[in-house]
């Protein structure tokens, strides 16, 4: 089920694009009404967090729901509806209100022109009425909640632990929010060529400059009528005047030294989030730094993300090369086979080869198949016909996965003359332009992973929205494949990231907490994104594009790349 937070409608989002993708932030004022002047011990807060997020009591038992003994608190946890940050949501016309203290411990009122209270919908909560709401489903005025709201069977001790946590949930704004600035950083590793760094930073810095210029205009020269219109359209009075800053964190040396560099950079300048970023090496050290510090890291440009099902703070566009291995495994699994096919992987000892092999092996095993035979090819070793013949004679595979670059194609030519030959799977990205040189006599039994949209790829250099059409095409010619110009690709992907981040910050309104930032991203409807077409978001989804096409080359001197399946997920 898709949770949709309908705060900014399509008309407002169109205005957002016309305003050059404004990125907007609230004041830093923090409020803690009704909070105990004595700080809650850290262990007690952790216990409350487990109840709120996971529905698990300090005893290790699951929270019980009144009237439904079979229901588990893990299914009906507070966070499943009110979200991790407590900012609430709208799902299928069911409104889940915010439960942060600046909302709970204030009367809920309807205002005229955003300033003058007209009527009170409910009084402010107290400790006693909040416990009654959790247990009995009644607000401070005694009105019954919708039956969607569970009534929790909590002891006095456990209920008070949860109450202490709620009083500390999203109380103080996150680091990186000052009185007039929201601070971001982007991470670049030194292996990235200068032209790619410039491509990403050019888009980000232009974006920051436009936003800050307009903030100054809103704050000084705009008349009150124009400012009110901007405030109403953008969702918050403070959003119109907040400044942004962007720091560039360049990591040098071996990846095992990156963590210490990041910690020092963060100590000197705490930021609200990491946006973008680019590396051709394993992103895992940056990922772990973000998770351990509770620091959002949004859509870094990396082919080697950390692969995890449990982390929260890092969002990726895809799983990179790993995802292509997954796609090959799912495609093979979906075919009707009389018996279990023997699968052999020839794996180049490189980041790309290892990621492809890992994605295939893990997914293939999870689908109930035997572990494939893996033959490693050393970094300086060439896959030639002698090595290939040796592997084929020894293993006699039905399926041969060759996770190598275009230098392997020469050895594969010999397969055309064999009466019994395996089906061959290659990575379209790893081959690069070499995929177009696959000989015609090989194309009938050679399959290529392809993790991008089949829509025409036409990035624009300006700040406007990148136009991406539907993905209805079944074939692409060489000139339509987005594997040629890395600089244009980086620019387009960065502009797409900027728009998503901007929309999320608007949807946050005044809830400028890091968890809220990720909550609203997870509640977005599917979006179109350069290269990847339609991408989806969800509360626990860390990879926006999750599929991969399996393709083949058509016939002729100017072949088409033809889909053989749907978007495998």
- Specify the pLDDT at position 338: 56
Which one of 65-69, 79-83, 110-114, 295-299 scores highest in mean pLDDT?
A: 295-299
The predicted model gives 299-322 an average pLDDT of 94
- Specify the pLDDT at position 566: 84
Above 50 in pLDDT, residue 11? no
Above 60 in pLDDT, residue 70? yes
Question: 206-210, 220-224, 306-310: lowest mean pLDDT where?
Answer: 220-224
Task: Name 120's bridge partners.
Answer: 109
Asked if residue 345 lies in contact with residue 332, where contact means CB atoms within 8 angstroms, the answer is no
Mean residue pLDDT of the chain comes to 83
pLDDT digits 0-9 by tens, 129-152: 888 888 988 888 888 888 888 888
pLDDT band at 475 (very low <50, low <70, confident <90, very high): confident
Above 70 in pLDDT, residue 282? yes
- Specify the pLDDT at position 111: 52
How many CB atoms within 10 Å of residue 98?
Answer: 20
Main-chain phi, psi angles of 449, to 5 degrees:
-75, 140
Above 70 in pLDDT, residue 9? no
The predicted model gives 115-141 an average pLDDT of 79
The predicted model gives 340-368 an average pLDDT of 95
Distance CA 547, CA 566 (A): 9
pLDDT band at 323 (very low <50, low <70, confident <90, very high): very high
Question: 180-194, 426-440, 464-478, 543-557: lowest mean pLDDT where?
Answer: 464-478
pLDDT > 70: percent of the chain? 82
Asked if residue 107 lies in contact with residue 124, where contact means CB atoms within 8 angstroms, the answer is yes
The predicted model gives 273-298 an average pLDDT of 97
pLDDT band at 438 (very low <50, low <70, confident <90, very high): very high
The predicted model gives 111-126 an average pLDDT of 64
- Specify the pLDDT at position 522: 86
Distance CA 313, CA 273 (A): 9
Above 80 in pLDDT, residue 464? no
The predicted model gives 555-563 an average pLDDT of 92
pLDDT band at 5 (very low <50, low <70, confident <90, very high): very low
Question: 69-78, 433-442, 481-490, 524-533: lowest mean pLDDT where?
Answer: 69-78
Question: 29-33, 89-93, 178-182, 328-332: lowest mean pLDDT where?
Answer: 29-33
Q: Which residue has the higher pLDDT, 4 or 204?
A: 204
pLDDT digits 0-9 by tens, 215-249: 787 766 555 555 555 555 555 666 677 889 999 99
Asked if residue 30 lies in contact with residue 545, where contact means CB atoms within 8 angstroms, the answer is no
DSSP string, 110-132: EEETTTEEEEEEEPPP-HHHHHH
- The CATH number of 181-320+488-535, from 3.40.50.2300, 2.170.120.12, 3.40.47.10, 3.40.50.150, is 3.40.50.2300
pLDDT > 90: percent of the chain? 47
Asked if residue 495 lies in contact with residue 203, where contact means CB atoms within 8 angstroms, the answer is yes
- Specify the pLDDT at position 337: 63
Same fold for the domain at 30-168 and the one at 181-320+488-535?
no
The token pair that represents 231 in the structure block: 């405030």
Above 50 in pLDDT, residue 467? no
pLDDT digits 0-9 by tens, 504-515: 878 887 788 999
Q: Which residue has the higher pLDDT, 96 or 114?
A: 96
Q: Tell me how long the chain is.
A: 569
| CA end-to-end distance (rounded Å), the chain | 17
- Specify the pLDDT at position 474: 86
Q: Which fold has domain 322-450+548-563?
A: Rossmann fold (3.40.50)
pLDDT band at 315 (very low <50, low <70, confident <90, very high): very high
The predicted model gives 26-32 an average pLDDT of 34
The token pair that represents 319 in the structure block: 């799983």
The token pair that represents 472 in the structure block: 């209805």
The token pair that represents 478 in the structure block: 């060489």
pLDDT digits 0-9 by tens, 244-275: 999 999 999 999 999 999 999 999 999 999 99
Q: Which fold has domain 30-168?
A: Cytochrome Bc1 Complex; Chain D, domain 2 (1.10.760)
pLDDT band at 96 (very low <50, low <70, confident <90, very high): confident
Which one of 118-127, 441-450, 539-548 scores highest in mean pLDDT?
A: 441-450
The predicted model gives 344-372 an average pLDDT of 96
Residue in 329, 428, 419 with CA at minimum distance from that of residue 370 = 329
The predicted model gives 324-334 an average pLDDT of 94
User: Which residues in 422-441 are b (16+ Cβ under 10 Å) and which e?
Assistant: bbbbbbbbbbeeebbebeee
Above 50 in pLDDT, residue 276? yes
Above 70 in pLDDT, residue 14? no
Distance CA 180, CA 320 (A): 37
- Specify the pLDDT at position 501: 85
The predicted model gives 173-199 an average pLDDT of 94
- Specify the pLDDT at position 145: 84
- Specify the pLDDT at position 213: 86
- Specify the pLDDT at position 117: 55
Q: What are the extents of the domains in the chain?
A: 30-168, 181-320+488-535, 322-450+548-563
């Amino acid at each position: 089920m898709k949770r949709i937070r309908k705060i900014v409608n399509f008309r407002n989002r169109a205005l957002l694009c016309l305003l050059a993708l404004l990125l907007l932030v609230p004041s830093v004022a923090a409020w803690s009404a009704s909070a105990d002047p004595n700080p809650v011990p850290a262990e007690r807060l952790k216990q409350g967090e487990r109840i709120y997020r996971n529905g698990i009591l300090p005893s290790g038992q699951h929270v019980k729901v009144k009237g439904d003994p079979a229901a588990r608190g893990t299914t009906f946890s507070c966070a499943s509806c009110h979200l991790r940050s407590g900012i609430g949501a709208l799902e299928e016309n069911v409104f889940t209100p915010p439960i942060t203290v600046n909302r709970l411990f204030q009367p809920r009122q309807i205002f005229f022109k955003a300033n003058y209270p007209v009527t009170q919908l409910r009084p402010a909560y107290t400790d006693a009425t909040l416990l009654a709401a959790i247990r009995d489903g009644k607000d401070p005025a005694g009105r019954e909640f919708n039956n969607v709201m569970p009534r929790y069977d909590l002891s006095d001790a456990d209920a008070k632990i949860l109450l202490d946590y709620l009083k500390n949930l999203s109380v103080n704004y996150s680091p990186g929010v000052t009185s007039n600035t929201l601070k971001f950083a982007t991470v670049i590793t030194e292996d990235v060529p200068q032209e790619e760094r410039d491509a990403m930073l050019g888009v980000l810095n232009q974006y920051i400059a436009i936003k800050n210029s307009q903030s100054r205009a809103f704050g000084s020269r705009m008349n009150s009528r124009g400012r009110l219109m901007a405030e109403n359209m953008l969702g918050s009075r403070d959003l119109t005047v907040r400044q942004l800053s962007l720091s560039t964190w360049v990591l040098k040396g071996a990846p095992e030294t990156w963590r210490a560099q990041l910690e020092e950079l963060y100590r000197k300048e705490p930021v609200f989030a990491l946006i973008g970023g680019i590396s051709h090496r394993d992103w895992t050290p940056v990922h772990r730094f973000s998770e351990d510090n509770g620091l959002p890291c949004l859509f870094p440009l990396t082919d080697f993300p950390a692969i995890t099902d449990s982390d929260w703070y890092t969002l990726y566009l895809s799983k990179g090369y790993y995802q292509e291995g997954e796609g090959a495994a799912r495609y093979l699994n979906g075919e009707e086979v009389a018996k279990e096919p023997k699968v052999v992987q020839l794996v180049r000892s490189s980041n790309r080869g290892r990621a492809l092999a890992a994605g295939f092996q893990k997914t293939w095993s999870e689908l109930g198949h035997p572990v494939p035979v893996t033959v490693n090819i050393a970094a300086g070793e060439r896959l030639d016909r002698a090595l290939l013949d040796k592997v084929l004679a020894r293993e006699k595979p039905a399926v041969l996965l060759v996770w190598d670059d275009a230098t392997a194609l020469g050895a594969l030519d010999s397969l055309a003359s064999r009466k019994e030959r395996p089906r061959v799977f290659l990575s379209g990205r790893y081959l690069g332009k070499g995929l177009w040189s696959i000989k015609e006599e090989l194309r009938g039994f050679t399959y290529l992973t392809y993790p991008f949209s089949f829509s025409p790829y036409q990035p624009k250099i300006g700040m406007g929205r990148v136009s991406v059409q539907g993905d209805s095409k079944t074939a692409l010619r060489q000139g339509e494949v987005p594997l040629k110009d890395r600089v244009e690709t980086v620019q387009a992907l960065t502009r797409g990231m900027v728009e998503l981040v901007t929309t999320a910050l608007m949807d946050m309104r005044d809830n400028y907490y890091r968890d809220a930032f990720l909550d609203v991203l997870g509640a977005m409807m599917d979006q179109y994104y350069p290269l990847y077409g339609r991408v989806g978001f969800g509360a626990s989804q860390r990879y926006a594009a999750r599929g991969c096409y399996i393709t083949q080359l058509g016939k002729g001197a100017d072949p088409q790349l033809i889909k053989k399946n749907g978007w495998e997920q």
